[in-house]
Amino acid sequence: MWSLPVIPLLINFCGALLGFVATLTLIPAFKDHFIAAKLFGIDLNKTSKQPIPESQGVISGAVFLIILFCFIPVPFLSCFVEEQCKAFPHHEFVEFIGSLLAICCMIFLGFADDVLNLRWRHKLLLPTMASLPLLMVYFTNFGNTTIVVPKPFRVLLGMHLDLGILYYVYMGMLAVFCTNAINILAGINGLEAGQSLVIAASIITFNVVELNGDCRDDHIFSLYFMIPFFFTTLGLLYHNWYPSSVFVGDTFCYFAGMTFAVVGILGHFSKTMLLFFIPQVLNFLYSLPQLFHIIPCPRHRLPRFNPGTGKLEMSYSKFRTKSLSALGKYILKVSETLHIVDVRQELDEDEEYTECNNMTLVNFVIKLIGPVPEQTLTVLLLLIQVVGSTTAFLIRYQLVRLFYDV
């Protein structure tokens, strides 16, 4: 059993602080390069049409990578310096390098997506490809595809269930899910980076709590990634917070999603990690009809800015009533009855049009509380994220007894 590796954790923390400062300074330093490269966007929720550099996630991601590259030998120094380990921990070393490979590849492909504007099907392919090294390392390192069956299902499936190749499918899908879930809960200044910070903080808290537990090594491994991620993202959020002077880009969503997936998979706490994604899951489920184009999905679903009041209002998707499929009509009716969607009918040039609010969590919050300033909205959604994490902890430590023996 390892005693707590205080020195590596301290070095990791110091490196993370360096990363915070580096991200903080590098982002303004490269603004011109990004604008010259046409990597900029216009803030649709502001009156100003000033170009705002995009894809800044590439900078925080690159800083994250460099810090962790320098950190590679640190957890293993005790083996060289004082020969305090019985045998060199090859498995941990390979996990570390393999995780960096998956994250590095994801940042690369994510940046390529931002630059080349790849299509939606690519948004599902890229995380799958980037998670390949993770799957391969898992296969070569553990190959363990057995799960403990939750109590209610034990009558049916027994105590343990070998998922086989399905376990790898699950791991691959985890990366796809995490990246895209963060990507669609977006649209207002500071939301993507902010939600990722809350999730990272939750995971760090969970890891620290579990340091007293059985799987200490897994949680130390997770901390080695989460601490630098937290601080580099903090540096990014400093510039991305309302009013944004930079945008994080899809690069950041890919980077964050993959980093979470990596620690969840190799730390063996993916189910707990998904509990921290409750708001993202809710947003995903609510968005499903539009993601599958059962209900028409416009290019942008972010809230609509009212220049008069300076507040954000719900944005709507407008379409011909005839063009809606039977399934679409049904979904719209049920949602309207449950008061989770705002539906309006109108006549325009002898054609009947239906308008429904874009089905995102951001719009839903506006529906509940009415038009609201952008910064307030972001803070509210981040509070929802914190509530979600708190609920996750409750589920993990209290309700868990209903499903597993602890």
Binding-residue total with its own copies (CB under 8 A): 44
Question: Given candidates 16, 22, 52, 62, which one binds its own copies under the rule CB under 8 A?
Answer: 62
Q: Is 115 in the site for its own copies (CB under 8 A)?
A: yes
| Helical H segments across 185-215, by residue range | 191-210
The piece of 93-101, 179-187, 257-265, 357-365 that touches its own copies (CB under 8 A) is: 93-101
Quick one: angle between helices 57-71 and 90-116, nearest 10?
160
Measured from the CB atom, is 102 or 185 closer to its own copies?
102
One DSSP character per residue, 336-348 reads HHTTSS-EEEEEE
Contacts of 161 (CB under 8 A, 6+ apart): 146, 147, 149
Q: Is 147 in the site for its own copies (CB under 8 A)?
A: no
Classified as helix, coil or strand, 164 is: coil
Site for its own copies in 23-52 (CB under 8 A): 30, 33-34, 36-39
Q: Is 73 in the site for its own copies (CB under 8 A)?
A: yes
Q: Give the distance from CA 381 to its chain's centroid.
A: 14
The piece of 57-65, 165-173, 299-307, 324-332 that touches its own copies (CB under 8 A) is: 57-65
Kindly give the pairing relationship between strand 343-348 and strand 351-357. Answer: antiparallel
The piece of 100-108, 148-156, 321-329, 376-384 that touches its own copies (CB under 8 A) is: 100-108
CB of 53 to its own copies, least distance (A): 10
> How many angstroms separate the CA atoms of 348 and 200, rounded?
48
Q: Is 116 in the site for its own copies (CB under 8 A)?
A: yes
Quick one: angle between helices 191-210 and 374-397, nearest 10?
20
Question: Given candidates 4, 21, 70, 157, which one binds its own copies under the rule CB under 8 A?
Answer: 70
Q: Is 72 in the site for its own copies (CB under 8 A)?
A: yes
Q: Is 165 in the site for its own copies (CB under 8 A)?
A: no
Q: Is 81 in the site for its own copies (CB under 8 A)?
A: no
| Partners of 161 in the β-ladder | 147
Task: List the Cα angle 61/207/102 in 5-degree steps.
Answer: 35
| Partners of 348 in the β-ladder | 351
Q: Is 76 in the site for its own copies (CB under 8 A)?
A: yes
**354: its two tokens:** 């239906």
Classified as helix, coil or strand, 254 is: helix
Q: Give the closest residue to 107 by CA, choosing from 52, 51, 63.
A: 63
Contacts of 37 (CB under 8 A, 6+ apart): 115
Measured from the CB atom, is 106 or 361 closer to its own copies?
106
Site for its own copies in 185-244 (CB under 8 A): none
Tell me, what amino acid is at 327? L
Question: Given candidates 16, 24, 107, 302, which one binds its own copies under the rule CB under 8 A?
Answer: 107
Measured from the CB atom, is 105 or 274 closer to its own copies?
105
Measured from the CB atom, is 133 or 235 closer to its own copies?
133
> How many angstroms separate the CA atoms of 24 and 402, rounded?
45
Environment class of 26 (CB within 10 Å of its CB; exposed 0-12, middle 13-18, buried 19+): middle
One DSSP character per residue, 63-123 reads HHHHHHHHHTTGGGHHHHHT--SSS--HHHHHHHHHHHHHHHHHHHHHHHHHHHT--HHHH
Question: Given candidates 117, 212, 345, 398, which one binds its own copies under the rule CB under 8 A?
Answer: 117
Beta strands per DSSP E along 138-192: 146-148, 160-162
Classified as helix, coil or strand, 309 is: coil
Question: Given candidates 9, 17, 118, 379, which one binds its own copies under the rule CB under 8 A?
Answer: 118
CB of 98 to its own copies, least distance (A): 5
Site string for its own copies, 332-351 (x = CB under 8 A): --------------------
Q: Is 382 in the site for its own copies (CB under 8 A)?
A: no
The piece of 69-77, 178-186, 234-242, 338-346 that touches its own copies (CB under 8 A) is: 69-77
Question: Given candidates 11, 44, 124, 132, which one binds its own copies under the rule CB under 8 A?
Answer: 132
Measured from the CB atom, is 145 or 317 closer to its own copies?
145
Measured from the CB atom, is 104 or 274 closer to its own copies?
104
In the 8-state DSSP scheme, what is residue 32? H
Measured from the CB atom, is 110 or 303 closer to its own copies?
110
Interface ranges with its own copies (CB under 8 A): 30, 33-34, 36-39, 58, 62, 65-66, 69-70, 72-73, 76, 80, 88, 90, 93-94, 97-98, 100-101, 104-105, 107-109, 111-112, 115-118, 129, 132-133, 136-137, 139-140, 143
